[in-house]
Amino acid sequence: MALKRPESVLVVLFSEDSQVLMLQRDDDADFWQSVTGTIELGESPIQTAYREVAEETSIELSLARQDIMDCRHINQYRIRKQWLSRYPKNTVYNNEYVFCARVDKHAEIILTEHLSYQWLSKDKAIERVWSDSNRLAISKFVPTRT
């Protein structure tokens, strides 16, 4: 197995009424998150964002329409101890580029890497997510329902 690069994307998907799509990881049932994924060699962060949304949810968004918004925010976080073996030796931190997109919550979602999904209110999503960086992204970039 190839080692992961310590650069990834976080893509927060939300609906017209500010419901947030939450995904339950298949390797840790207590870990709920937004779409995430490693930036592959030769890929830009925005390309990774589009690829990961399609891979993890089957929702096809368009770069030409600029469906995904670059939040111009980068998180740096300590990689979970149980995941360190997936990265090159002595890698401790990951840089995470943050994106978001408004999607149709009635679109068909086909999971490939997760156990389950839920649409939650912004407040419930903030409570549910495991990582602080995901919590911050939801808080900062998902519009408050009016």
CATH number of this structure's domain 7-141: 3.90.79.10
Q: Is the pLDDT of residue 146 over 60?
A: no
Domain definitions of the chain by residue range: 7-141
Residue for token pair 């990961």: 52
Helices (H), 43-143: 45-57, 122-128, 132-141
In whole angstroms, give the CA distance from residue 43 to residue 121. 32
Question: In this predicted model, what pLDDT tens digit does every residue of 5-22 receive, in sequence order?
Answer: 999 999 999 999 999 999
Radius of gyration of the chain from Cα atoms?
Answer: 14
Q: Average of pLDDT values for 62-66?
A: 88
- Tokens matching residue 3: 């080692």
